[in-house]
Amino acid sequence: MKAGIIGCGKIFPMHAVSIKKQPCVQLVAVCDSNRELAEKTGKQYGCSYYTEYREMIAKEELDAVHICTPHYLHAEMAVYALEHGINVLTEKPMAIELEDAKRMEAAAEKNERVLVVSFQNRYNPGSLLIKKTLESGGLGSIISAKASVTWNRSDEYYSRSNWKGTWEKEGGGVIIDQAIHTLDLMNWFIDSEIQWVDATISSRAHKTIRVEDCAEGLIHYKSGINASFYAMNYYTYDAPVEIELHCEKGMVNLTGEKAVIVFHDGRQVVADRNPMETFDFGNVKQYWGVGHMKEIQNFYSCLAEGKIPRNTSREVMAAQELVCAIYKSGKEGRRVLC
Ligand SMILES: NC(=O)c1ccc[n+]([C@@H]2O[C@H](COP(=O)([O-])OP(=O)(O)OC[C@H]3O[C@@H](n4cnc5c(N)ncnc54)[C@H](O)[C@@H]3O)[C@@H](O)[C@H]2O)c1
């Protein structure tokens, strides 16, 4: 199969190196609107380079395209690729607006192509242990849940970027960019439709941004579960994210990637990042781990075998619904029905 990547910025190496490791895939082209970066990256990976993604799609006969661009471009690029018969793996978030995410999903269905959204933390051993234990019924039902994300994104992080920190291009702040992974995991564990969201958002500690750097709220699921969350990105470092699930038959705690499940009968199971599983992605954050590699491996092996990969747009749409409901509730200062 032939793959192309749009966007050669910070997350790019996670995709490029992961593609290079797949025996059935060749990275044939990259695209970035920054000509110098496109050329440098194309030369580094020994492939063609473009500054216009439509031209890359017209010339390269791609089987799949990876979208690693600012959030406001995901919907436009994904729909265009799907309409041209190309499978898509887009970085999170799927889109800024829920209507755009639904348009992307409709384009995938209409063109019978696959649309996967990168929520690589679902591949972590700790996340998988929790999901499997819940599905097996070993914990009974979830009674309630809470999550927190307290990270650091400096003023410089925002001033260095021409799209981060803006409603138009990033679509929000700490929720849509950082906490989305943790909210997605909590949603995935709870596995129920959301009934309503009551949230606040505020911009508190950063000097230049208008988007929120703090948010908290309550998510009420149709199954009756209340899940609380707190997220901010003006802490002094990226503290490990936390999710706790209070279940009928035990307690679940996820701290960073480490899951600890303590059953009421005294049994305990633990899963954490496997220190033997490492890949050299170059100069990228350790936090990102090897989830991208696993996700991209699953994407291509499923394409090759005609199976449906994990993390399709349908599977992760709930995360988009949740993020959009948090913003609506925060902006309008009221409870929002989903
Ligand atoms: N899954 C994760 O854990 C994770 C981590 C980091 C970033 N991301 C996501 O990856 C995406 C990219 O983030 P980043 O940090 O790499 O951003 P970045 O700003 O470092 O890179 C984006 C690149 O896209 C290019 N670009 C902009 N407009 C373009 C266009 N019209 N055509 C082609 N290229 C264009 C820019 O020139 C830039 O090089 C975002 O969706 C972000 O949320 C995901």
DSSP state of 307: P
**Is 144 in contact with 227 (CB distance < 8 Å)?**
yes
Residue type, 206: H
Query: Atom 6 (ligand 1): residue with closest C-alpha?
Result: 11
233 within 8 A of 178, measured Cβ to Cβ: yes
Q: Is 41 in the pocket of ligand 1 (CB under 6 A)?
A: no
Note the pLDDT tens digit of each residue in 157-194. 999 999 999 999 999 999 999 999 999 999 999 999 99
Residue 181 Cα: closest atom of ligand 1 = 3
Residues in the chain predicted with pLDDT less than 70, given as ranges, are 278-289
Residue 113 and residue 88 in contact, taking contact as beta carbons nearer than 8 Å: yes
11 CA: nearest ligand 1 atom: 16
235-271 tens-digit pLDDT: 999 999 999 999 999 999 999 999 999 999 999 999 9
Question: Which one, of 45, 28, 38, 29, lies nearest residue 8 by Cα?
Answer: 38
CA of 9 to the centre of ligand 1 (A): 5
Q: What is the pLDDT of residue 43?
A: 98
Ligand 1 atom with the shortest distance to the CA of 177? 43
Domains of the chain in sequence order: 2-120 (3.40.50.720), 125-285+313-337 (3.30.360.10)
Residue 7 alpha carbon, nearest atom of ligand 1? 24
pLDDT at residue 129 in the model: 98
Ligand 1 atom at shortest distance from the alpha carbon of 292: 1
pLDDT score at 276: 76
Distance 334 CA to ligand 1 centre (A): 32
Q: Which of 5, 10, 50 to mutate to test the pocket of ligand 1 (most atoms within 8 A of CB)?
A: 10
Burial of 16 (0-12, 13-18, 19+ CB in 10 A): buried
| Pocket lining: 73 vs ligand 1, CB cutoff 6 Å | yes
Answer yes or no: are the C-beta atoms of 93 and 319 closer than 8 Å.
yes
Confirm or reject: Cβ of 165 under 6 Å from ligand 1. no
Q: Is 22 in the pocket of ligand 1 (CB under 6 A)?
A: no
Closest CA to 308 of 65, 153, 108: 108
In this structure, the residue with its CA closest to atom 11 of ligand 1 is: 68
